[in-house]
Amino acid sequence: MKLAVPDLISNSYFPAVAAVELGFFRAVGLDVSLELIFPVDEAYRRMRGGAVDFVAGSAHSALAAFPAWEGVKLLCAQAQGMYWFLVVRADLGAKRGDVSVVRGRRIGAAPWVEMGLRRLLIEAGLDLERDGITIAPVPGASGATVNFGLTAAKALEEGKIDGFWANGMGTEVAVRRGVGTVVLDVRRGDGPKLCFNYTMASVAATDRLINVSPETAAAAVRAIVKTQAALRAGPERAAEVGRKLFPPSEAALIAELIRRDLPFYDAAISPEFVVGMNQFARDVGILHGEVPYDRVVATRFAPLWHAKPGAQ
């Protein structure tokens, strides 16, 4: 089986990546390999076409390939909350939380990921056209094997963009190199409150897979929950994965990034989250009308979200 992630050298989808690399999928009887497919909308299209079995990506982006949530379900969360950071050039002297710094700036963001930033800025009272804000793909961030956060950090360092909206790894690299300043970390309380529930890192599967092989979908949920528990118990295990998959400099950072993310490691997908995500999706024009919770989430697997690892 294949599990698609839209960014690999990152903390964003690390529970799913670690579930493969640390053997937790094998432990529940699934032979799963990783496939890097960028951007995230393409990953969901590949799943719709049957080329991959699961997508571990941003939850709202399922709508790129499954309009109105027809034919897809979210199985579980990898972690709670919208997980991208707004970072700008260090020489701009930006203050934490002051989004006005983006006026007249070029901000790099990946397709579908950029929707979160656009809506956040509107919620914060900015107007992209009036305020001269350009949100566009990062130069060089194209192709099937791109690692977006690192590409964004490099583009910022080279002056190709004024800021980026990307993952924690790209953020950490930019900050440590002294080229970037964090303006927003939505997960940890920055920005308008509603933004937390715009999206989350989830694991999704098609209705077809769930209906034909519910035991496979259930096993995938168990693998993620077991991985979250293992990382909570020993975040240093993230370094094992980093040494296998990441360049040395990023491998040295991943355990600390995962340690910071542990408070958000909860596999549950709440009705409140789905209400917030769907409202966001309507606001940005990718969803029309109301869609009930049980058409978005595979609720039959909810008992597994908080099951004790030994009881699964």
Among 5, 32, 7, residue whose Cα is nearest residue 221: 32
Each residue's pLDDT tens digit, 146-203: 577 888 999 999 999 999 999 999 999 999 999 999 999 999 999 999 999 999 999 9
Rounded to two decimals, the pTM is: 0.95
190 and 115 co-located in one domain: yes
Last residue of a domain, one of 142, 169, 196: 196
For the chain, what percent of residues have pLDDT higher than 70?
Answer: 97
Distances from the Cα of 152 to the Cα of 29, 167, 273, 297, angstroms: 37, 9, 28, 32
Which pLDDT score is estimated for 27? 98
**Beta pairing partners, 136:** 108
CATH of the domain at 37: 3.40.190.10
Per-residue pLDDT of 134-150, as tens digits, reads 999 988 766 555 577 88
CB 25 within 8 A of CB 243: no
pLDDT tens string 209-252 = 999 999 999 999 999 999 999 999 999 999 999 999 999 999 99
38 and 16 within one domain: yes
Both 206 and 307 in one domain: the answer is yes
- In terms of residues, how long is the chain? 312
Q: How far apart are CA 9 and CA 169, in angstroms?
A: 7
| Residue range(s) defining the domain that contains residue 9 | 2-81+199-311
Burial class of residue 242 (count of CB atoms within 10 Å of its CB; 0-12, 13-18, 19+)? buried
- Measured at the CA of 121, the angle between CA 269 and CA 44, to 5 degrees, comes to 45
Final residue in a domain of this structure, among 196, 228, 247: 196
Residues 268 and 301 in one domain: yes
Q: What span, in angstroms and rounded, lies between the C-alpha atoms of 251 and 203?
A: 24
Query: E-assigned strands of 98-179?
Result: 106-109, 134-136, 163-166
CA atoms within 13 Å, Cβ hemisphere of 220: 31
Q: Scanning the structure block, which residue is given the tokens 């528990």?
A: 229
The whole-number pLDDT of residue 192 equals 94
- Number of domains observed in the structure of the chain: 2
Domain boundary among 178, 196, 214: 196
